[in-house]
Each structure stands twice: as C-alpha cells, then as structure tokens.
Structure 1
Amino acid sequence: MKTYLKKYAKYFDYPLFFTYILLCLFGLVMIYSASMFWAVNTLHYSPDHFYKKQLMNLTIAIFAFLIGLIIPYKRYRDNGMMKLIITGMLFLLFAVFVVGYSPGNSGAKSWIDLGIVNIQPSELTKLGMILYFAAFFTKKKEIGKIDIINESIVPPLFVFGIAVFFIALEPDLGAIGLITIIVLSVMAASGMRFSTFGKIVGCLIGLATAGLIGLFIFKDSFFTERRVGRLKAYLDPFKDANEYGYQMVNGYYAIGSGGVKGLGLGQSIQKMGYLPEPQTDFILAIISEELGTLGIAIVLFGLGFIVYKAMRLAIKAKDPLARMIAAGIGSWIGIQTFINVGGLSGLIPLTGVPLPFISYGGTSIILLSLAMGILANVSMIVKKDNQQS
C-alpha cells in the first residue's frame, strides 16, 4: 500500500479535492443556518441537531472518500467485485420492499432503518450501476466490439430492469429517471457503435412505455391524492398555495427575497416555519435568500467544476473503464443538480432529489464522497499513464 500511494500521490488532483471539501463545508454551514428554527420549533430538538448529525455524516464521508481513493479503480472490473456490487445493491433494494419505511409521510417507502443509521438503497444503486456497467462493457470491449446481438449485453440490462422494478415499487420516479440517464451516459462512453446504442435506447423506451401503461392500468393505486396534488402544484403552485403548492410558493418567496446580495447569513425569513424541512432538497432557496446570487453562484460553480473535471477526465482517459467511470460520476452529479435546481425553480416537477454535497442527508453525502474518491483515483492513474505514454 505504501508503494502504491508513493507511486501515485504526486498525481493527486488537488483542485478536485478542495472543491469537494469546500462544497461539503459550505453545505454544513448552510444546513446549520437553514435547520435551526425547524429543529427547535417543529421537532423540539436542539438548534444544532441537524448540524451535528451532518457533521457525523461528513466524518464517515471522508473515510468513504479515502476508501475510494485508495482502491485502484481497475479492481472494480474483477468478477468478485462485480458480483459483490450487484448482490449488495439488489439485496438492499429488495430489503426496502420488505422492511422499508417512508420518512415524514413522503409517500415513497425508500429507506431502511438499521437502528444506528438509516440508509437509502436507491442512492447506492446510482454508484453501483456506474461501476457494474463500466466493468461489464470494459470486458466486452476487450474481447471484441460491443453488439446487442453478437456480444450479448442482456445481463446488465437485466440487472438494471430488476433495480428499476424495485425502485418503482417504492415508488421513486426521480431516482429511476436519474439512474436511467446515468446508465445511458456510461454506455455512451463505452465506445459502442451508434446503432447498438440506438437499439439499447429503443429497448429502454419500450420498457418506459410498458411502465407508463402499467401506471395507467393501476392509476388508482399509484396516482394518489398527494401525487396528483404535487403535479397540479407544478403546473400552477399559486392555485393551491396553502396545500400542495405551499413548498414551491415559499421557495419562490425565499429566492425572490434574497435578490442579488441576500438578506445575510442566518437572516432567512422563510426558514422560520414557512418552508418545511429547509435543510433538505430546498436548501438552495435558503442559500438564495441569505446569500443572494453570490451564494447560488458559489454552489453552481463548484458543482459545475466537478462535472467539468469528470467529463474532461473521461475524454482524456485511454482506458475505457476509467472513461466510463468518470462519465458516469460526472453525469450523476450534473443531472442530480439539474433535477434539484429544476424542481426548485419550477422548470420540472419536484422529486425530492437532494442537492449534491449541500443538502442534509447521510446516505447521499457518503455515497457521493465515495464516488469522489473513486474519481480522484481515476484521475491519479490516468495522469500517470498519460505522462508515461
């Protein structure tokens, strides 16, 4: 291990690391600011309750980052590692179906209570799909061209289908959409022929169509009053501003109140009982209210920089495994940011997807940190290989 670290340490990507750390610390500060009133007046906790829990989450997340950094990324293509990833991912998704629960009456049974901590397996699925699909297509590429007929790619699509099925039972349509885009990004970076990629996209469209038909058939059980209300709120939140449009309307007020300069750190009005759980997926609204356009710019620039570094690494990498892992992680962070900001701004319906590295949540920050460690490992090895070639 010492030899390995000494060999690659000088290629460590410091800009990527410091951007990741600064985003996590900035998120920690904003979680403390956003959650104080909610913790005390709604839940009767201490004002620093969510801050302390996120600090503990960050401590674990740093260890996760180091694990991702230390393990050579080429290990993920080993058969044993691939089986471990698939087995663990599908087992946890099945466990959600059996013993999962819905926090805060969110309508989606997507969490597992382990006593000490709660985990959300759909978050693990995002990273698991990246590593499994990247490893699978790397092996296929080594033995010849990737083709949907000549070189069967049924196994990963079968695993993807099972995962999507269990997530649909929760249901968490936001996670399904995000995971689908991540998988497509990895496949697009695999180097497969465009015709093959088109066939796969066609298959996924077919599955999506079948899913929509299923939703229509079982519409009475799926389209509950809560879900229909949220959809109507997306179309016109002010029409039902006291119920299903309440969160979006107060999010708009927070953004509008902040303006360019913001009201000042800690000075948000909307967090004073108006915006429910402001430390979660709506934290960017509080950032906008307190720190204005500058606060939003800091967050979006930091996240954009990480996505840029990942995609640039994917372009420069000669190893297909490195290319697919970097593209998958970059698309994960980029698309998740778009879904969060899009929901907050009313561009797309709300899905409850957290803002990467900023929103409160243990599973999200730990899995994202592990992904950042893997990305940093890919960056080190690719830099070294490119310099030697």
Structure 2
Amino acid sequence: MKKYFVTYLRNFDYLLFFTYIFLCLFGLVMIYSAGMMVGIMYEDGTPDYFYRKQLLNLSIGAVVFCLGAFFPYKHYSSKPVMMAGMLIMIILLLWVKVNGTGLDETGSQSWIRLFGMSFQPSEFAKLFIILYLGGSFYKKSLKYSSIQHVTPNDIINPILIWLFILAGVGTETDLGAFIILFFIAISVVWLSGIKGKSLAKFFVVLGGVGGLLSAVLLIFKYDTIFNGSRAGRLQAWSNPFEYAGGSGYQVINGYLAIGQGGLEGVGLGQSTQKLGYLPEPQNDFIMAIIAEELGIMGVAIVLIGIGLIVLRSFYIAMTTKDPLARMIAGGIGSWIGFQTFINLGGVSGLIPLTGVTLPFISYGGTSIMMLSLAMGILLNVSMYYKRDKKKLS
C-alpha cells in the first residue's frame, strides 16, 4: 500500500487536480452570487441558501473524489465491480419509475427523494455507462488478444444494458440526459478500437435499435415529451422575441445578461438579471450571470478550465497504450465536453434549451458528486498513464 501511494504521488496530475478545484470554487462563488435573490424570495429567506447546500455537496464530492482517485481503475473491469454497478443502476431506474419526483417542476420524473435529499439516477448513469462499456470491451480485448477481433455479437450484452438504461432515462422524459448518454456510449465504442466492418455493423444495428426506441417513445410518450414546457422551448429557440412573455422569457433575459456584461462585466454580485428577471439563475443559466458580472473574461476563465480538462482527457486517450484507460479517459472527456456544449448552446440560442447544467459551475448535488467521482477516476488513470510513460522513456 505504501509503495502504491508513493508511486501515486510521484505521478500526480497537478494540472487536472488544480483545474478541478479551481472550477468547483469558482462555481461556488458564482452560485452564491447568482442564487442570492432566489434564496431570499423562494427558499429559506437567506442569500446564502444555495451556497450552503452546494458547499455540502462539494464536501461529499471531495470524499468520492478521493475514493475515485485512489481506487485503481483496472478494477472497474472486474466482474464483481461491474455487476455491483449494474445492480445499483437497475435499482435506481426502477425506483424512479415507482417513486420518482420532479414531473411538476421540471417536466421529467427523474428525481429520487430520500431522507430529505434528492438524487438523479441519470447523473449516475453517465459515469456508469463509461465504466461498464469500457470494462466490457476491455475484457473482450483480453479474450481475443486484440479489440479489433471483437464482433458485434461479442458485445451484445453490454449494448443491451446500455439500451435498457437509455430506455429508462428516455421514459423519464429527461431529454438532456438521454442525448448525453447516447453520445457518451458512441464515444466509448469509437475509442474501444473496434475497426472496419465490425464497427460499421455495430453502428447500423445501433442506429436501427435507437431509431425504433425513439419511435416507441414518441408513440407512447409524445404528450409527455412534448409537453407545454418543451414545446415552448422549441418555439423560444426558433424566435424567442415572438414569445417574450412566455417561453422566450428566460432566453431573452439570458441574452440581456450576456449583453450587459460586455468585456469586463458589471462587477461581481452586481447583476440585475438575477433580481427576479432570469428564472433559476444558479442552475443551467449560470453562465449568463457570469457573463453579466465578469464579462468575456469570466466566460473565458470557465471555458479555459473546462477545456483543459477535456483536452487532457483526450490527450491521455489518444496516447495511452491501455485500451481501458483510453475508453475511460475519452469517455469522461466526451461527457464533460458534450454537456458543456449543450448547456452553452442552450444559453446562447444555438440549440433548444434542455435544462442541462454547466459542469462544475452550476448548482446541483448529484451532478457535482458524480463529476467529482469522474475526476478522481480520471486522475487515477492519469497517474498510471504517467507511470507507464516514464517506464517506456
């Protein structure tokens, strides 16, 4: 054990660690600033309501970060760990079906409330699908001595598990999580190293099954999927100013916040849009408040920080010799990068709003906890990567 910790510290990835810490602390400050009026008006009457809750979330996140950082990533491909993760995932999905909440508030029944706390299974699913698919493909590569010899028939079981999870999240009508889970799986499969006809056959089958699943969801869940809130978001995306008094209200006030910030911003804590104009500014629209208070420089700080994590993940994935490390690092990078794109795309009007949070910055307990665990795992992968790189040099 002592030897392991010495090796770990010698190969510690300080860039990843301090970037993660900085983004979390920066997000904590902005949550306090963005959420103070909402805390006073709608919660417990204190301006630091969301700050205190996020501080608790980050404390729990620090614990799971350490667990992920010191647990050897190779163990995620072991059968007991994979089965335990799958069992937890199935229980969570079934639980949210029977006793889930959130339909009235968010339009999707995707939350579990337990002992006064809320948990979102779809956030757990994002990390689980990376580890489960990566572990499954890695075991197949060991069986055949090369992942290139794996056929679609060999990976049918993990794909069925993924489709089950996708169907579970889809029937919650959590479209943002549904889209992210779809592209995470595509990224992991692409990074697995499967080549040629096997990869082509896989995507053909996946496209067919995915299309069928989407059609079934649309037939049986059309009214829920395209409820008033989501239909309004589509309208707001096409022309928010035409629906300024309704579905376009949040988008337009987001634009106003961004426009008022300019280059330098109006100053930390000085936003006017958070004073009851921009709904839930501490959540998926927190970047609009950052732009208003800190200007383009504040936005650039966030994008550079997240960009460093994503690029570091992809660098490890593209240069490592270990297929499991490649799939885990690339999967985590794809998750963070794609979720950031969806959030910023919604805030800027590039794509319709989905209610997806900005990684590390937005308020949210389940999100920051699972991202912290993912960063711990990525740090562990990086440690082994740096160690192996030194041995080869």
Bin the TM-score by the shorter chain. over 0.9
For the Cα contact (< 8 Å) 2:107–2:227, is it kept in 1? Answer: no
**2:234 is equivalent to residue 205 of structure 1:** no
Q: For residue 300 of structure 1, what is the aligned residue in structure 2?
A: 303
1:280 is aligned to 2:283? yes
2:312 is the alignment partner of 1:309: yes
* RMSD of Structure 2 on Structure 1 (CA): 1.4
Structure-2 separation of matches of 1:283 and 1:202: 39
* Counterpart for residue 63 of structure 1: 63
Distance 2:226 2:19 in 1: 41
Q: Give me the whole-angstrom Cα distance separating, in 1, the residues matched to 2:133 and 2:219.
A: 32
Query: Shift of the alpha carbon at 1:148?
Result: 6.5
Give how far 1:147 is off: 5.7
Aligned residues: 389
Q: CA deviation at 1:213?
A: 2.6
Matched residue type, 1:185: S
Q: Which amino acid letter does the alignment assign opposite residue 300 of structure 1?
A: L
Partner of 2:390: 387
Aligned partner of 1:54 in structure 2 is: 54
Checking the alignment, whether the CA contact within 8 Å between 1:27 and 1:359 is kept in structure 2 is yes
Distance 1:198 1:245 in 2: 41
Aligned partner of residue 113 in structure 1, secondary structure? strand
2:243 to 235, 240, 244: 240
Q: Please state if 1:33 is matched with 2:33.
A: yes
The letter for the 1-side match of 2:47 is P
* Separation (CA, whole Å) in 2 of partners of 1:356 and 1:212: 27
Name the CA distance, whole Å, in 2 between partners of 1:253 and 1:35: 18
Structure 2 residue 169 is matched with structure 1 residue 167: yes
Q: Which amino acid aligns with 1:193?
A: K
The amino acid of 2:239's aligned partner reads D
Q: Quickly say closer, same or farther: Cα 1:78–1:265, change in 2 above 3 A.
A: same
Aligned to 1:371: 374
Q: How does 1:1-389 map to 2 (within 5 A)?
A: 1-102=1-102, 105-144=105-144, 145-146=147-148, 149=151, 151-218=153-220, 219-389=222-392
Whole-Å separation in 1 of the counterparts to 2:294 and 2:104 = 28
- SS at 2:154's partner residue? coil
C-alpha distance in 2, partners of 1:353/1:189? 25
| Deviations 1:1-20, CA, capped at 9 Å, x for gaps | 33311122110000110000
Q: Which runs of 5+ in 2 are unaligned?
A: none
**Higher mean displacement: 41-50 or 252-261:** 41-50
- Larger mean CA deviation between 297-306 and 204-213 belongs to 204-213
Tell me the distance in 1 between the aligned counterparts of 2:218 and 2:373: 38
Cα distance in 2 for partners of 1:179, 1:217 equals 21
Q: CA deviation at 1:209?
A: 2.1
Give the % identical residues. Answer: 51
Tell me, in whole angstroms, the C-alpha distance in 2 between the residues paired with 1:337 and 1:226: 22
User: Aligned AA for 2:64?
Assistant: A
Report how far residue 41 of structure 1 moved: 1.8
Change (3 A) 1:135 1:212: closer
Contact 2:110 2:174 in 1 (8 A): yes
* Partners of 1:70 and 1:377 within 8 A in 2: yes
CA displacement at 1:93 relative to structure 2: 1.3
Shift of 1:165: 1.0
Q: Which amino acid aligns with 2:275?
A: M
The Cα shift of 1:292 comes to 0.3
What amino acid is the match of 2:109?
Answer: K
Q: Distance in 2 between matches of 1:14 and 1:110?
A: 35
CA distance in 2, matches of 1:205, 1:377: 34
Deviation at 1:151, TM superposition (A): 5.0
Flag structure 1 segments of 5+ consecutive residues without an equivalent.
none
Q: Which amino acid is 1:17 matched to?
A: F
Shift of 1:228: 1.4
Quickly say closer, same or farther: Cα 1:103–1:283, change in 2 above 3 A: farther
Contact 1:147 1:153 in 2 (8 A): no
In the aligned structure 1, how far is the partner of 2:226 from the partner of 2:356?
A: 20
Alpha-carbon deviations, 1:149-207, whole Å to 9, x = none? 47521111100111011111111111111111111111111111132222222222213
User: Structure 1 residues 133 and 40, CA, compared in 2 at 3 Å: closer, same or farther?
Assistant: same
Could you tell me whether the CA contact under 8 Å between 1:130 and 1:183 is conserved in 2? Answer: yes
The separation in 2 between residues aligned to 1:86 and 1:150, in whole angstroms, is 21
The answer as to whether partners of 2:76 and 2:135 remain within 8 angstroms in 1 is: yes
